């Protein structure tokens, strides 16, 4: 038997292209999480405005949609101001 291969090579945790479950997943990007949260909030806003076509029959509904839009825009500008969202 040849001694060219290291013993550690054969007992490594790399198997079938996947790393072991015991390895740390330290490559998680916080920027990706921020983008995900931003997308979910924007998606909820779009879904609420799709329903607005049927509910704009009453004038009181305008206030609620406008209030919601102001809150979302204030949150968006807050995130831009503090650097949570970067346009590179």
- 7-50, pLDDT tens digit by residue? 555 555 555 655 555 555 556 677 777 777 778 877 877 777 77
- 52-62, pLDDT tens digit by residue? 667 666 777 77
Structure tokens at 41: 């909030």
Phi/psi zone of residue 35: left (φ > 0), alpha (ψ -120 to 50 degrees), beta? alpha
Domain residue ranges in the chain: 7-82
- Per the CB < 8 A criterion, the answer to whether 45 and 68 are in contact is yes
First to last CA, the chain: 55
Q: Is the pLDDT of residue 82 over 80?
A: yes
Instruction: Please indicate whether residue 87 or residue 2 has the higher confidence score (pLDDT).
Output: 87
How much is the average pLDDT of 79-85? 81
What phi and psi values does residue 15 have, to the nearest 5 degrees? -145, 125
């Amino acid at each position: 038997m040849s001694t060219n291969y290291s013993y550690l090579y054969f007992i490594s945790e790399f198997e079938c292209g996947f790393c072991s479950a015991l390895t740390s997943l330290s490559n998680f990007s916080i920027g990706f999480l921020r983008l995900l949260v931003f997308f979910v909030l924007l998606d909820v806003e779009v879904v609420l405005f799709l329903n607005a076509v049927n509910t704009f029959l009453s004038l009181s509904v305008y206030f609620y949609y406008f209030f919601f839009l102001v809150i979302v825009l204030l949150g968006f500008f807050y995130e831009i101001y503090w650097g949570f969202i970067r346009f590179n």
